[in-house]
């Protein structure tokens, strides 16, 4: 499943193509499970003022305060093509966005992506904002472990399996460490590693797994920098201990020696 840095990369690729352009037509090939207030006639021939990314949504802002929020879900993807090369019979195709000189295709194998039209911009908290600071979060008195909070999409939207595992390993924090046991130094380490790993994931254009590719079918290279994610039972790159895993949880890999509770 794409995490926040893959979505940011994708947004940066689509942005220069669509801003100040008009969508001539949107065609629904096959609906998604989650669609809300979709009325594509409303945006026909309207100018796209700006393309935003908020958490894991890519949002098209049109004239007249109309916003189209799109979410990749588990297996959504955007690709670019031309009218000449358009193959409407390609598997899993959901929507076709027709522009003057190109077309954008939204495909989704499982159909858990979502499309929604609204009249205002989503203002969800965003971990990629420069001013995102874990110190200011209202979480530190909770009797919960950091693993579950870091994967709570309301608190750290877009942080999924690989980012979570790599952030905690970098900060040398055990995934089962309780929030109430974080001292100021732990919080600072956590904040530092969060920013560092997000930045690395942005620089490498995210990770490419078997089911996800960027526009134009490109791949990211973050997977080459994984230190714990996907390395269960392999030796820790720092101390040589075998990488362990919280029972059955995806992305809960950790070094039992380097990462402290
Ligand atoms: Zn270690």
Ligand 1 centre to CA of 201 (Å) is 22
Q: How does pLDDT run across 191-244, given as a tens digit for each residue?
A: 999 999 999 999 999 888 656 667 777 778 999 999 999 999 999 999 999 999
Please give the backbone phi and psi of residue 22, each rounded to the nearest 5 degrees, phi first.
Answer: -110, 145
Chain segment 33-49, per-residue pLDDT in tens: 888 988 999 998 899 99
- Distance from the alpha carbon of residue 162 to the mean position of ligand 1, in angstroms: 17
Which run of H or of E encompasses 186?
helix 184-203
Cα–Cα distance measured from residue 117 to residue 115, given in angstroms and rounded to the nearest whole number: 7
The pLDDT > 70 percentage for the chain reads: 98
The rounded distance, in Å, linking the Cα atoms of 15 and 78 is 12
The CATH number of the domain covering residues in 134-254: 1.10.8.50
Between the CA of 58 and the centroid of ligand 1 the distance, in Å, is: 37
Q: Model-level pTM?
A: 0.89
Closest among 200, 196, 193 to 220, alpha carbons compared: 200
User: What is the domain partition of the chain in residue ranges?
Assistant: 4-118, 134-254
Confidence at residue 89, expressed as pLDDT on a 0 to 100 scale: 85
Task: Find the 160 Cα to ligand 1 centroid distance in Å.
Answer: 22
State the fold for domain 4-118. N-terminal domain of MutM-like DNA repair proteins (3.20.190)
> pLDDT-derived band of residue 148, with 50, 70 and 90 as boundaries?
very high
């Amino acid at each position: 499943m794409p995490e926040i840095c893959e979505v940011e990369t994708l947004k940066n690729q689509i942005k220069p193509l669509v801003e100040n352009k008009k969508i001539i037509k949107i065609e629904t090939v096959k609906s998604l499970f989650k669609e809300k207030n979709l009325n594509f006639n409303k945006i026909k021939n309207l100018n796209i003022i700006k393309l935003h990314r908020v958490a894991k949504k890519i949002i098209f802002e049109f004239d007249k305060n109309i916003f189209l929020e799109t979410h990749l879900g588990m297996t959504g993807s955007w690709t670019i093509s031309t009218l000449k090369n358009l193959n409407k019979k390609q598997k899993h195709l959901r929507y076709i966005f027709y522009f003057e000189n190109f077309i954008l295709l939204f495909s989704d194998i499982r159909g858990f992506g979502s499309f929604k039209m609204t009249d205002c911009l989503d203002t969800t908290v965003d971990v990629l904002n420069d001013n995102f600071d874990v110190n200011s979060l209202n979480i530190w008195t909770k009797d919960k472990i950091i693993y579950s909070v870091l994967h709570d999409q309301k608190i750290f939207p877009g942080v999924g399996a690989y980012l979570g595992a790599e952030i905690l390993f970098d900060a040398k924090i055990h995934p089962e460490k309780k929030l109430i046991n974080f001292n100021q130094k732990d919080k600072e380490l956590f904040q530092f590693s969060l920013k560092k790993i997000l930045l690395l994931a942005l620089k490498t254009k995210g990770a490419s797994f078997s089911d996800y590719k960027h526009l134009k079918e490109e791949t990211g290279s973050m997977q080459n920098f994984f230190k714990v994610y996907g390395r269960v039972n392999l030796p820790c790159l720092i101390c040589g201990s075998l990488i362990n895993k919280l029972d059955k949880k995806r992305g809960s890999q950790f070094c039992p020696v380097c990462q402290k509770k």
